[in-house]
Amino acid sequence: MALASDIEIFQETEWSEIADCLSLSQRQSQIIRLLLSGRSDKQIAHELHIALPTIRTHLSRLFAKFSVQDRVELIVSVLAQSRHAFEDNGSRM
């Protein structure tokens, strides 16, 4: 049985396209991808080998970039925008 943290929503090529369409930096892309797989701030910090306050700074900047208030809204926004990006490009998810 797969844990929520083991689930990948997008394949690598799909995610690269999404990150590019959303103008994400490499670090922002890594953080959002780990959020999408269900990781906590602490788990993300551990996996990326950076301090927890640094993760929170990145999240605050992502919240501002996407005009959202929290990680749930961020995830919903990323998923909605990625869907629109694929629809606009004629691709299918």
Distance CA 91, CA 79 (A): 15
Specify the CATH number for the domain of residue 62. Answer: 1.10.10.10
2 in a structural domain: no
Assess contact for 74 and 32: CB atoms under 8 A: yes
93 in a structural domain: no
> Tens of pLDDT along 7-40?
677 888 888 888 998 999 999 999 999 999 999 9
3 in a structural domain: no
Among residues 21, 20, 9, the alpha carbon closest in space to that of 88 is found at 21
Expressed as residue numbers, the domain containing 43 is 13-88
Residue 68, classed as helix, strand or coil, is coil
41 in a structural domain: yes
Domain total in the chain:
1
Name the pTM for this structure.
0.81
Distance CA 87, CA 90 (A): 5
Distance CA 53, CA 45 (A): 9
51 in a structural domain: yes
- Determine how many CB atoms are found less than 10 A away from the CB of residue 76: 12
> Tens of pLDDT along 31-66?
999 999 999 999 999 999 999 999 999 999 999 999
7 in a structural domain: no
